[in-house]
Amino acid sequence: MTRLFVAAWPPTDVLRELAAIPRPTTPGVRWLPQRNWHITLRFVGDVGDVDADSVAARLADCALPRVVARLGPETTPLGGRQIVVPVRGVEALALAVRSATAGIGDTDRRDFDGHLTIARLGRHVDPSLPTAALQSEFEIAEIALVASELRHDGAAYETIARFPTR
Give the whole-angstrom CA distance, residue 86 versus residue 132.
Answer: 12
What is the percentage of the chain residues whose pLDDT exceeds 70? 99
SS3 140: strand
Distance from the first to the final alpha carbon of the chain = 33
Q: Give the model confidence (pLDDT) of 129-151 as tens digits.
A: 889 999 999 999 999 999 999 88
Rounded to 5 degrees, φ, ψ at 123 are: -60, -35
Average pLDDT of span 38-53: 89
Domain ranges in the chain are 2-164
Task: Record the pTM.
Answer: 0.93
Q: Is the pLDDT of residue 47 over 80?
A: no
The number of residues in the chain equals: 166
Check if the beta carbon of residue 54 is closer than 8 Å to that of residue 6. no
The alpha carbon of residue 46 and the mean position of all alpha carbons in its chain are separated, in whole angstroms, by: 16
Q: Give the model confidence (pLDDT) of 72-125 as tens digits.
A: 999 999 988 999 999 999 999 999 999 999 999 988 878 999 999 999 999 888
CATH architecture of 2-164: Alpha-Beta Complex (3.90)
